[in-house]
Amino acid sequence: ENQNLELQNGDVISIFENPDIKNTGRITLVGEVKFPGVYPFKRGERLSAIIDRAGGFTNQAYLMASKFFRKSVRKRQMKTREKYLEREKTELEMAQDAEAEQAKDKLQNLETVSEALDGLENIEIRGRITLDMSKISGLNSLIGHNSDLRLEDGDTFEIPARPMEVSVVGQVYSPITAL
């Protein structure tokens, strides 16, 4: 039949949402995959599927040092930090009022706590999720592993290159970096 129907006064047209378009997102792959970039995905897809689409890991991929970031986790972490800072600052104010009559050294300790809280307020929160990549040697070993997460829109996965040097630091006689 003719698909170009002429609309009449009072006709109703219903246009339904395409669930395949609605249930999509984007993940950013950074570092040691063959084709880094931003990849679209469908609802329910896992990290391994996108890494496969990106050509897999390069030979230089250092999976033990990889980092996974999620927007929803970042939001929760920020809310938790705000609640913590608010509670601690309230307690600090109460303690400063109570300690005003007492020793100056206690007041100095309270100032140190106040500075630490200010520092915490300025730390960047990225929403990192720690993945257990200790037994992952490549794409095939990631499939079905606990670290093969279902993706959410805005996820980022960073895979650094294997380091070419070793650093010895801390309480040692001669801190060095060797190749």
Residues 54-91: tens digit of each pLDDT? 999 999 999 999 999 999 999 999 999 889 888 887 87
Residue 139, pLDDT > 90, answer yes
CA distances from 1 to 8, 9, 12, 14, 15 (A): 18, 22, 20, 20, 20
pLDDT at 2: 58
18-49 tens-digit pLDDT: 766 666 899 999 999 999 999 999 989 999 99
CA angle 72, 78, 74 (to 5 degrees): 30
Q: Which residues contact 149 (CB under 8 A, 6 or more apart)?
A: 46, 47, 68, 129, 131, 155
pLDDT at 110: 67
> Which of 61, 38, 25, 27 lies closest to 156, judged by CA?
27
Percentage, residues of the chain above pLDDT 70: 87
Look up the pTM and report it.
Answer: 0.74
Q: How confident is the model at residue 106 (pLDDT cuts 50, 70, 90)?
A: low
SS3 42: strand
Average pLDDT of the residues of the chain: 87
Beta bridge partners of 68: 129, 157
Dmax of the chain from CA atoms?
93
pLDDT at 85: 83
45 vs 123, residue with greater confidence? 45
Residue 102, pLDDT > 70, answer no
